[in-house]
Amino acid sequence: MPSLPALRRRPALPATAPLLAATGHTLAVAAPAAPPGSGPGGPPPPPPPRRPRATATSGSGPSGYLALLRLPGATAFTLGGLLARLPAGMFSVSAVLMIAASRDSYALAGAVTATGLAATALVAPWTARLVDRYGQRRVARPAAALAVCGALALVACVRLGAPAWTLFAAYAATATVPNAGAMARARWQALLGEDPARRHTATSFEQAVDEVCFMAGPALAAVLCTALFPEAGTLTGVALLAVGITLFTAQRATEPPPHPRPATGSAAPLRRPGTAPLLAVFLATGIVFGTLEVTTLAFADTAGHAAAGGLIVGLQAAGSCVAGLVYGARAPAGPAAARLPVLLALLTAALTLPALAATTGSAALLAPAVLCAGMATAPVMITAMTLVQHRTPPARLNEGLTLAVTAILTGIALGSALAGQAADRLTPGTGYTVALAAACAAIAFATRLRAPALSGVRG
């Protein structure tokens, strides 16, 4: 069992002491009046009622998720976080379609979005560090405003026929989009405290939300850009980001307190033991995601079912979403560091299915194989994110989670490039072999996490 916070380990105070109520990172001090008729020698006053954090049941199955959403402010910040996360999947697809439509160059569009990804990898950890230091509201709102300005500048540059270099500069400004997923996970951790079962459920829920955004964001962008006008996807993403961040940060009661000066021992996540192999796991898993998507699209196109490629990729995300919710509804068995290599081994086994299906040349066989592979990804991500949350001090939590997401995005970019080369130079299904190799590498990195300092993490 994880140790209780230091505040709860203190010796009991006498009955005459003021009452202390700890909620999240907030300490409330109250001196309630004595009940009528009670004197100095009477019985001590009853303790104050606890907030939902202490009384909500962890539950299992759907009831566990409902119990989380019943906590004050949870539904509101979840809705805001959902809206704020959708643009992350919309901006890149919208930029590609918008630039390609106006400049007739997919090469330019791809280069612009690749530059934006590189900028995100550099800027996102610093934005997250500022969030930890100064608070979500004070940093997320101006960071989102800067990203909105960058997206609007990109639209203006495209419409006005500005030089190509302005597209790179404008899109790079969108790298300041705050990581709503990391901020939401930080809020759950502050709300739930040292409750591994409920934190496991919350992490699983957030992973499912990520998958929903992964499915809906690019699809919504493609529909808007093709059905309305090329700039519609970017403009809609701007509106969703502004509304989502505003709703999310408006929930002040659930916001974790800032840490202007990190406490002693809260070193930067990259300097903490076990962080490097854990980030390597995220990088390798991102390569799996990138190769699966590009290889599936290339295979479907070669097989004469180009329209079905997007649907098959959607099955991967849908399988991951459902598996994440099911996995989160059950109590985890054993330490997270011990579970991660096992789950990665299951993912590796599942990845053999699309590799085998590709040898048949049948898109009908590939679809269920990709669905099974997608179902194996969510437990891996949930367990790995749990390790990040436990290994990162609260003063650096947003930074640690954002580093993990950055590693995933970098892996997706590498995997997409490798799968594209494999599809052009070899066969469309060769990319599934690349995914298998990346999964095996992830297992090797995960085995390095089974150290004494990590093996006790059960969330």
Q: Is 22 a residue whose pLDDT tops 80?
A: no
**Residue 76 amino acid letter:** A
Q: Are residues 227 and 279 in the same domain?
A: no
Sequential DSSP letters for 242-293: HHHHHHHHH--TTSPPP-SSPPTT---GGGSTTHHHHHHHHHHHHHHHHHHH
Residues 279 and 219 in one domain: no
Give the residue-averaged pLDDT of 131-154. Answer: 89
Query: Can you read off the two tokens belonging to residue 173?
Result: 């400004």
Answer yes or no: is 64 within a domain.
Answer: yes
* H helix or E strand, kind and range, residue 28: strand 26-30
**Burial environment of residue 169 by CB neighbours within 10 A (0 to 12, 13 to 18, 19 or more):** middle
Per-residue pLDDT at 301 exceeds 80? no
Q: Which pLDDT belongs to residue 187?
A: 85
Determine what percent of the chain is predicted with pLDDT higher than 90. Answer: 15
Instruction: Clarify whether residues 278 and 253 are in a common domain.
Output: no
Question: Do 382 and 243 share a structural domain?
Answer: no
What pLDDT score does 351 carry?
A: 93
- Confidence at 264, pLDDT banded by 50, 70, 90: low
Q: Dump pLDDT digits (tens) for 352-370.
A: 999 999 888 888 899 899 9
357, 376 in Cβ contact below 8 A?
no
Q: Single out the residue in 257, 278, 309 at which a domain terminates.
A: 257
How far is it, in rounded angstroms, from Cα 189 to Cα 206? 12
Please tell me what DSSP assigns to residue 350.
H
Residues 394/135, Cβ–Cβ less than 8 Å: no
Residue 30: inside a domain? no
Q: Is pLDDT above 90 for 10?
A: no
Q: Do 96 and 228 sit in the same domain of this protein? A: yes
In this prediction, residues 230-259 reach a mean pLDDT of: 87
Task: Tell me, yes or no, whether 125 and 83 share the same domain.
Answer: yes
CB atoms within 10 A of CB 408: 24
The more confidently predicted of residues 116 and 142 is 142
Residue 25 pLDDT grade (very low, low, confident, very high; cuts 50, 70, 90): very low
Indicate whether 343 and 200 sit together in one domain. Answer: no
Q: Provide the number of structural domains found in the chain.
A: 2
Please tell me which of 7-21, 113-127, 334-348, 419-433 the model is most confident about, judged by mean pLDDT. 334-348
Burial class of residue 73, CB neighbours in 10 A (0-12, 13-18, 19+): middle
Same domain, 197 and 321: no
Q: Among the three residues 223, 238, 257, which one is the final residue of a domain in this structure?
A: 257
Looking at the structure, do residues 286 and 420 belong to the same domain, yes or no?
yes
Residue 442 reports pLDDT greater than 60: yes
Asked if residue 117 is part of any domain, the answer here is yes
**In a 3-state reduction of DSSP, which class is residue 352?**
helix
Residue 382: which domain range?
Answer: 268-459
Domain shared by 344 and 224, yes or no: no
What is the mean pLDDT of the segment spanning 300-324? 79
The gap between the terminal CA atoms of the chain, to the nearest Å, is 10
Give the mean pLDDT of 233-258. Answer: 88
Q: Which of 54-68, 144-158, 378-392, 423-437 has the lowest mean pLDDT?
A: 54-68
Domain termination residue (choose one: 233, 257, 281): 257
327 — pLDDT class (breaks 50, 70, 90): confident
Residue 13 covered by a domain: no
Among 15-24, 41-50, 262-271, 355-364, the minimum mean pLDDT is found in 15-24
pLDDT beyond 90 at 438: yes
Residue with more model confidence, 128 or 247: 247
Considering only 65-74, 367-376, 445-454, which range has the smallest mean pLDDT? 445-454
Domain contains 130:
yes
Distance CA 428, CA 301 (A): 9
70 is a domain residue: yes
Average pLDDT over residues 11-25: 43
Q: 192 and 138 share a domain?
A: yes
Residue 46 lies in a domain: no
Q: What is the mean pLDDT of residues 401-422?
A: 81
> Rounded distance, CA 168 to CA 164, Å?
7
What are 154-179's pLDDT values in tens digits? 999 988 888 889 989 998 888 888 88
Q: Are residues 278 and 311 in the same domain?
A: yes
Tell which residue, 210, 347, 406, has the closest CA to residue 339: 347
Q: What is the DSSP letter of 428?
A: G
pLDDT at 156: 92
* Domain contains 20: no
Residue 21 is which amino acid? A
Is residue 262 over pLDDT 60? no
Query: Is the pLDDT at 416 greater than 80, yes or no?
Result: no
Instruction: Quickly count: other Cβ atoms within 10 Å of residue 323's Cβ.
Output: 23
User: Given pLDDT bands bounded at 50, 70 and 90, which one contains residue 137?
Assistant: confident
Residue 437 has pLDDT above 90, yes or no: yes
Amino acid at 280: A
CATH number of the structural domain spanning residue 207? 1.20.1250.20
